[in-house]
């Protein structure tokens, strides 16, 4: 027995409470509001009939303790619980992973319906593997705090539409493959997610780590999300808005994709701010921004890292995606481009980026590409170098482009049509599509009756094709030179 608890019992004895009375009942009998940090009406769930043996259904005992007291303590044990309701002014706590609440049934385990509720130092789990339905915690109250809890084998971990809602120092492990969601925010304001740690088997990733459907004023900070379908998915639907989303100092790592900002239907995302975040080592893109038929207005990425992804480091798409700022940061080692701006995107600003080889990482397949039809944009003071197929391509040619390293308006090289072949693709590496008159081909050996020629229909923003009339009888070497007006 710890000193504080022993001293409290001795003090209660002095108030006329019999020795041996359960402490939770003794506090109530004494009528004292707080003794050495123990509030009145503190309940130990064992005193209300809970067994904590991993076999008995303790739901009714746990509910009785919650209804009786302001503070509810779960000593070390395995408590099987189906569904309990937690009203205002409650504080549930335990001994962290030693105090296990094991799901019974398929519904929500714990519903937080009132304000000023705190849940901490508890473990939520399910026997026999991940659940297929239900949430461990569903919250709709105000001033709700969930701290230092451990969630495993879940379907939904925490689902909330609370206002003034905090989750901090919580771990999420082994959620339902392809379907699970660790934290889902369906509404409310002033949501704070701090020191969230999420990791799952690489061959059984849940649907999402954090899924935000509707909210205002949400902060994500100092967190690490790994091995999810999407580490952070923001997908408001029709008439739903996600506003003022702020993320900082957070790793979104080693998933199918890192961050997806993708409204569904007429949903909207406005005012997003990402500082010093990492979206790397994903199967697909690091960060995907696509308004679709909805709206994205006002995203800022500062010192963003998007490296080693199977697709692009960052992609921006949709005519309703606007006011996207990418300021500083690095994109390297991606199998796609560092950044791709799709057709007809307007009002985007790329400043002081490094898209290419850096810090021991190789370049991307391409550096920065701006596709046709884009308007009102800036590409300023960026460094694009050592990318494989191109450094910078600006197909729109309407924005402000200055001070960049890697924008090429003239290039040359050598290539070869191999024995038995009739053509070869040449990557010209120019900032824009050259015209046929700006490409020259010079053989380095005599080809006799099998001359080389430029296929003028093949010229694109990245390549052109050189052909010969018949299969090459040997290796046909040539040098080429190409230029464009550039950006």
Per-residue pLDDT of the chain (487 residues; tens, 9 = 90+): 443 454 345 444 544 555 555 554 454 444 433 433 444 578 999 999 999 999 999 999 999 999 999 999 999 999 999 999 999 999 999 999 999 999 999 999 999 998 899 999 999 999 989 999 999 999 999 999 999 999 999 999 999 999 999 999 999 999 999 999 999 999 999 999 999 999 999 999 999 999 999 999 999 999 999 999 999 999 999 999 999 999 999 999 999 999 999 999 999 999 999 999 999 999 999 999 999 999 999 999 999 999 999 999 999 999 999 999 999 999 999 999 999 999 999 999 999 999 999 989 999 999 999 999 999 999 999 999 999 998 998 888 888 888 888 777 778 889 999 999 999 999 987 877 888 999 999 998 777 788 899 999 999 988 999 999 899 988 999 999 988 754 3
Q: What is the pTM of this model?
A: 0.80
Q: Are 250 and 278 in contact (CB under 8 A)?
A: yes
Residue 303, C-beta contacts closer than 8 angstroms, at least 6 positions apart = 275, 276, 327, 328, 329
Angle at 179 between CA 290 and CA 152, to 5 degrees: 120
- pLDDT recorded at residue 37: 41
Listed in order, the ranges of the chain carrying CATH 2.160.20.10 are 75-402
Exposure letters 206-231 (e unless 16+ CB within 10 A, then b):
bbbbbbbbbbbbbbbbebbbbbbbbb
- pLDDT recorded at residue 35: 38
Q: Could you give the 3-state DSSP secondary structure of residue 196?
A: strand
- Name 482's bridge partners: 411, 439
Considering the domain 75-402 in this protein, what is its CATH number? Answer: 2.160.20.10
CA dihedral 294, 300, 305, 307 (to 10 degrees): 30
- pLDDT recorded at residue 430: 80
- pLDDT recorded at residue 16: 52
DSSP string of 298-314?
A: EEEEEEEE--S-SS-SE
- pLDDT recorded at residue 446: 72
**CATH 2.60.40.3940 given to domain 410-483:** yes
- pLDDT recorded at residue 461: 83
Listed in order, the ranges of the chain carrying CATH 2.60.40.3940 are 410-483
- Match 């919250």 to its residue by tokens: 139
Rounded to the nearest 10 degrees, what angle do helices 3-14 and 23-30 cross at? 40
Query: Can you read off the two tokens belonging to residue 209?
Result: 């780590």
């Amino acid at each position: 027995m710890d000193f504080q608890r022993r001293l409290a019992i001795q003090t209660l004895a002095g108030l006329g409470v019999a020795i041996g009375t359960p402490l939770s009942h003794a506090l109530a009998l004494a009528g004292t509001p707080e003794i050495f940090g123990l509030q009145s009406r503190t309940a130990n769930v064992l005193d209300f009939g809970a067994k904590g043996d991993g076999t008995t259904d303790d739901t009714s005992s746990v509910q009785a303790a919650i209804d009786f007291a302001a503070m509810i303590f779960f000593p070390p044990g395995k408590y099987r619980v189906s569904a309990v309701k937690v009203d205002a002014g409650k504080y549930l706590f335990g001994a962290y992973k030693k105090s296990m609440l094991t799901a019974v049934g398929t519904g929500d385990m714990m519903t937080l319906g009132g304000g000023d509720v705190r849940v901490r130092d508890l473990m939520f789990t399910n026997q026999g593997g991940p659940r297929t339905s239900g949430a461990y915690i569903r919250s709709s109250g105000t001033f709700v705090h969930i701290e230092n809890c451990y969630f495993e084998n879940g379907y939904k971990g925490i689902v909330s539409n609370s206002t003034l809602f905090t989750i901090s120092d919580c771990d999420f492990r082994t959620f339902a493959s392809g379907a699970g969601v660790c934290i889902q925010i369906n509404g409310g304001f002033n949501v704070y997610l701090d020191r969230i740690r999420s990791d799952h088997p690489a061959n059984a990733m849940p649907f999402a780590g954090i899924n935000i459907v509707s909210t205002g004023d949400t902060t994500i900070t100092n967190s690490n999300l790994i091995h999810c379908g999407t580490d952070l998915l923001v997908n408001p639907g029709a008439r739903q808005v996600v506003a003022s989303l702020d993320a900082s100092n957070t790793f979104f790592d080693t998933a199918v994709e890192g961050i997806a900002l993708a409204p569904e239907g007429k949903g909207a995302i406005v005012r997003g701010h990402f500082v010093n975040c990492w979206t790397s080592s994903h199967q697909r893109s690091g960060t995907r921004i696509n308004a679709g038929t909805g709206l994205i207005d006002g995203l800022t990425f500062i010192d963003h890292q998007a490296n080693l992804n199977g697709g692009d480091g960052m992609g921006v798409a949709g005519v309703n995606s606007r006011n996207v700022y990418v300021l500083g940061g690095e994109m390297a080692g991606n199998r796609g481009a560092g950044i791709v701006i799709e057709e007809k995107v307007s009002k985007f600003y790329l400043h002081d980026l490094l898209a290419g080889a850096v810090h021991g990482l190789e370049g991307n397949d391409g550096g920065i590409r701006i596709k046709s039809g884009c308007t009102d944009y800036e590409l300023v003071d960026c460094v694009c170098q050592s990318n494989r197929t191109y450094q910078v391509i600006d197909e729109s040619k309407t924005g402000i482009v200055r001070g960049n390293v890697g924008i090429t308006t003239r290039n040359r090289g050598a290539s070869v049509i191999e024995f038995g072949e009739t053509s070869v693709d040449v990557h010209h590496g120019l900032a824009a599509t050259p015209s046929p008159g700006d490409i020259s081909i010079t053989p380095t050996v005599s080809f006799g009756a099998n001359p080389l020629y430029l296929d003028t229909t093949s010229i694109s923003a990245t390549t052109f094709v050189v052909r010969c009339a018949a299969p090459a009888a040997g290796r046909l070497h040539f040098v080429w030179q190409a230029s464009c007006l550039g950006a």
